[in-house]
Structure 1
């Protein structure tokens, strides 16, 4: 039986493929339209199929050809401000196409589905750390598009023999410690990625969006999770589903937040480089603080963080950024 990884040529998806292969799951197939992913990011011997997850017939043919029993779904659009500008594009990419993939899974009898969801479904939580049972009130089309897919999975699991795990990511950062993959997308908006680019002279300055939030230093607070720890959470979720566990929704974070200015200080400290920081207005769709209550993922999956120190996350991201220039022409 095979695992289908959608978006497996992208940042988190490529780490998922590495995690599967590293533990001996060599029957891995990747679907990616390469709009933001890279061929070289898909590790051998995983098969790369260049296709759109919204093409039901193509997905059904692939599922049947490779005897897929589990789907790990990363493909989608992820930039919160862009979703405010282009809401219909986000609903197409994240919701409509996910619905097509879920239908393909149901029609082909796939019983295990892991979904890349987001902490953006919580909107502006009244309490931090925020738990899975908190009120869901996304404030961006990105968060709404992901919540709609969670709802579709919940309803499909009632009507069909489909069990799923929806993992609500907090802020994913870092890179493979062995230097095999990392955040490679040009014009990325992730803070640690952007700060590393500034430290290495790849951009002239870093902008801080909002310094008047109700936080200790006025900048947004986020829970940063290392991408390798996140990939391992998916492995554990897959194992639980294959062992017969029921559907579940779990936060993926460490339960500890850092402000934008604290992250910038960490990048300066680890890189040994000072760089220009400009202050700008708030971006639409950004809550002041978003920190995970992570007790449930520990109890349900037995997941434990291995790379949860901010300086470690930054060091891995910085090492990847240094090695990246020669890869982007591939």
Structure 2
């Protein structure tokens, strides 16, 4: 299987890359990935030293390098787009750049151009979207019941990405997965710049001073390894011979609807420590410079039924992330 991971040196991309590299040696796997390190060229970047990986420096916002990457990797079976500006606050401050980065205009165009030249079956395109396409007004959103209506730039850019793919890529050969908060251990191949939320929780529980957590924003966190399982299952179901009859967009969350207070207290239970310093506060008590949807919990039954993946709950996610359980 020939796979292109756009954003493969990011957090989720590394877990997918690790999985692919651990597959049986009798499968031919070529993995490409992009990265945006200003000071790391394609020669000295640490991921280039991994056997069976090919590295390409691509600017997702301008498309520079995309043609050379796809041309070198073709024919492709699977393309997974993990690349994004994912900080809502940063997206709000740099709205134009967020749109250029998060809507995969150049990726879709380049894949189509190469597909038309080769007359091969188009690779399955799996795009990582977000639960923030919902407005947060209803709990347990369902894909074909709750219409997306994002309240911030990040959510709008991700919804625009879903719509662009639906309108500009091969029908039946793409799917957008609306992910909730992603949990997991430290990335397996190289550090990433953003701190992990569960690390913040664990460090907070170690101290005596009160630490505030929002009690009125709800999500359905999902483990990185469960996302990888969904993607792999979709790639197998898609095959090479026919268009899929799936939905174009699926919710992709874990089974638990939790506030951040819930996450902190359940993590304390897993660790066997006190949660006395966990202080519940309203999200309105903090000015984050961006509107945040209140309840973007969602039901992911349709995707789970399709892929036969049963995502783990928060406590099991924490046991895995903290090295208390094996994958």
TM-score range, shorter chain: 0.7 to 0.9
Greater percentage in strand: 1
CA 1:36/1:249 → structure 2, altered by over 3 Å: closer, same or farther? farther
Output aligned runs, 1:124-273, within 5 Å: 124-126=136-138, 128-133=139-144, 134-157=146-169, 160=170, 163-175=173-185, 180=188, 184-188=191-195, 191-199=197-205, 206-208=211-213, 210=214, 218-243=215-240, 244=242, 245-246=244-245, 248-272=248-272
Measure how far apart 1:12 and its partner are: 0.5
Contact 2:270–2:319, Cα closer than 8 Å, also in 1: yes
Once the two structures are superposed, what CA deviation does each residue of 1:256-304 show, in whole Å capped at 9, x if it has no partner? 2112112111333334556855655264332222222111112322322
Tell me what 1:123 maps to: 135
Q: Matches of 1:319 and 1:93 in 2, distance apart?
A: 34
Q: Tell me the number of residue pairs that the alignment of Structure 1 and Structure 2 aligns.
A: 299
Q: Matches of 2:9 and 2:203 in 1, distance apart?
A: 21
Q: Structure 1: 5+ residue runs without aligned partners?
A: 211-217, 321-330
Measure how far apart 1:319 and its partner are: 4.0
Tell me what 2:119 maps to: none
Q: Matches of 1:16 and 1:317 in 2, distance apart?
A: 16
Q: Structure 2: 5+ residue runs without aligned partners?
A: 116-121
Output aligned runs, 1:25-174, within 5 Å: 26-34=29-37, 39-40=45-46, 44-56=51-63, 58-69=65-76, 70-95=78-103, 98-109=104-115, 110-126=122-138, 128-133=139-144, 134-157=146-169, 160=170, 163-174=173-184
Tell me what 1:21 maps to: 21
Find the residue that maps to 1:289 and give its secondary structure.
Answer: coil
Q: Matches of 2:15 and 2:137 in 1, distance apart?
A: 29
Q: Matches of 1:298 and 1:72 in 2, distance apart?
A: 19
Q: Matches of 1:67 and 1:277 in 2, distance apart?
A: 51
User: Under a length normalisation based on structure 2, what TM-score does the superposition of the two structures give?
Assistant: 0.80
Tell me what 1:316 maps to: 320
CA 1:81/1:206 → structure 2, altered by over 3 Å: closer, same or farther? farther
User: Under a length normalisation based on structure 1, what TM-score does the superposition of the two structures give?
Assistant: 0.79
Tell me what 2:294 maps to: 288
CA 1:55/1:84 → structure 2, altered by over 3 Å: closer, same or farther? closer
Q: Matches of 1:161 and 1:61 in 2, distance apart?
A: 25
Q: Matches of 1:256 and 1:266 in 2, distance apart?
A: 11
